[in-house]
Amino acid sequence: MTDTPTTAGTAAAVEPAEGDDPQIAYPRTEWDDYEIVPPTTSLSNEKLTMWTFLGSDCLLFGALISTYLLLRNRQPLSGEESLRAADLFDIPFTSVSSFVLLMSSLTMVLAVSAIARGEMERCKLWLLTTAAQGAVFIAGQVYEFTSFYREGLGFTVSISSSAFYTLTGFHGVHVSLGIIMLVTLWAMVNRGIIGPERAETVEIIGLYWHFVDIVWIVIFAVVYLIP
Amino acid sequence: MSTATEAASGEIHDADEAHDDHDHGLSDFGYIKVALLLGVLTAAEVLLYFVDTGPIEVPGLLILMVVKFWIVVAYFMHLRFDSKLFTWMFVGGMVLALAVYAAMGTSMLFWTDPAGCDLSPNLNC
């Protein structure tokens, strides 16, 4: 140990370090006038990665939504009038499934909140509730697709129907992946693999789930409600 | 020196508190209130769809959509309480998406053949 601080820029460095004689008066140096700046950018890499992924996923859904908007009124070049998805929308039904998905965001955030407090049982309950609400939404989408198909709106009927099924189908795949992640998370919490010290894992899966929700907020308004 | 150290430890303490604030967000009751607000806004959207409100229908639906989007991102995704870097990552992706597809949409409007569907006469749609 030298008699001058070796850690540049930190006032605390002039305090006697471990093993130093506290009786020795260490001389003040110009470094003592520097303020300690606590680290303010100590961000979680995992969380930053998820936000970067979500930012890039905006491009995917942006492409799908704008493609649907551009093609939704296109009819086949054969000249035959074909059905459009908009002709078959059941708005009350879709409103209910939208509400279910919206409320799943509440239960997801309650799961994050519970695990942060160490309430593991409550966290598991909210995770399962969220997954169940996601499953209800997917069941609604399967019902909608089936009824559209029975009405004659197949995937290849027109470019408009292809754009509709691709957009809503991709969203459905995202929700399904989210359900798989939630159930896996529940199993890991149940087996004690994830505890309160790893609450951030639940938060990161929650970010994905909320993203799926906000994408549906846009799809519901732009595709279903706006004429 | 001790003054500097005390000030420094005070700053670190403040930083810890700020970090805690980042992590906490709202209380459970606060989240429930936010969810209720989202439910009301969804009901308002559906009402706007069914009630003939003339020229305010589309702007109204778009405004409600943006408000719902912002509420979920800010409160449920904690972006309001988290680092600004996360906000920039997300908003950056959204702005890029909007800009690219607005440009694409505009170009298709300008270049579309009114009698057909696209730039190429050989491409069926």
Q: Encode pLDDT of A216-226 as tens digits.
A: 999 999 999 98
Mean local confidence (pLDDT), B33-51: 94
- Give pTM, 2 decimals: 0.77
Suggest the residue from B41, B56, B58, B65 to mutate for an interface test with chain A (most A CBs closer than 10 A): B65
Taking Cα atoms as reference points, which of B38, B25, B96 lies closest to residue B67? B38
State the pLDDT confidence band at A40, using cuts at 50, 70 and 90: low
Residue A203 predicted with pLDDT over 80: yes
Q: What is the average per-residue pLDDT within B100-112?
A: 74
Residues belonging to chain B: 125
Report yes or no: A210 at the B interface, CB cutoff 8 Å: yes
Confidence of residue B110 (pLDDT cuts 50, 70, 90): low
- Position B121 scores a pLDDT of 44
- Percentage above 90 pLDDT, chain B: 35
Looking at residue B22, what is its pLDDT?
A: 45
pLDDT-based confidence at residue B111 (cuts at 50, 70, 90): low
Tokens linked to A87: 């002709």
Cβ-Cβ contacts under 8 Å for A221 (sequence gap 6 or more): B45, B61, B62, B64, B65
Task: Locate A221 and state its tokens.
Answer: 């308004």
Give the pLDDT confidence score for residue B114 in this predicted structure. Answer: 54
Nearest to A58 among B24, B32, B97 (CB): B97
**Smallest CA–CA distance from B67 into chain A, residue:** A217
Q: Which of A63, A91, A159 is the closest to B125 by Cβ?
A: A159
Distance CA A60, CA A69 (A): 14
Q: Is A74's Cβ below 8 Å from some Cβ in B?
A: yes
Contact (CB, 8 A) for A106 and B35: yes
Is residue B69 within 8 Å of residue A218, measured between CB atoms?
Answer: yes
Give pLDDT tens digits for A160-174.
Answer: 899 999 999 999 999
What pLDDT does A30 receive? 65
Which residues of chain B make contact with A32, given a CB cutoff of 8 A?
Answer: 1, 4
The overall average pLDDT reported for chain A is: 85
Quote the crossing angle between the two packed helices A91-116 and A120-150, to the nearest 10°.
Answer: 160
Pick from A74-78, A94-98, B93-97: least confident: A74-78
Say which range, A6-20, A42-56, B93-107, has the weakest mean pLDDT. A6-20
Contact A218/B at CB under 8 A: yes
Q: Any residues with CB less than 8 A from the CB of A188 and at least 6 apart, and which?
A: A194
Average pLDDT score over residue span B89-109: 83
The C-alpha atoms of residue A158 and residue B94 are separated, in whole angstroms, by: 29
Reading the block at residue B59, the tokens are: 């702007």
More confident: A180 or B88 = A180
Q: What is the pLDDT of residue A23?
A: 62
What would you measure as the largest C-alpha separation in chain B, in angstroms?
Answer: 82
- What are the CA-CA distances from residue B49 to residues A91, A115, B15, B71 (Å)? 9, 39, 48, 21
Is residue A12 predicted with pLDDT exceeding 50? no
Mean pLDDT check: name the lowest of A37-46, A64-73, A142-151, A165-174: A37-46
Contact A226 B45 (CB under 8 A): no
What pLDDT sits at residue B75?
Answer: 93
Is the minimum CB–CB distance between B47 and chain A shorter than 8 Å?
Answer: no
Residues A160, A182: Cα–Cα separation, whole Å: 33
Higher local confidence (pLDDT), B17 or A139: A139
d(CA B124, CA B112): 13
Q: Do B45 and A220 touch (CB under 8 A)?
A: yes
Domain ranges of chain A: 1-42, 45-75+82-225
Instruction: Report the pLDDT value the prediction gives residue B93, as an integer from 0 to 100.
Output: 87
* CB pair distance less than 8 Å for B105 and A213: no
| Fold for the domain defined by A45-75+82-225 | Four Helix Bundle (Hemerythrin (Met), subunit A) (1.20.120)
Which chain B residue shows the shortest CA-CA distance from A99? B39
ipTM of the complex: 0.77
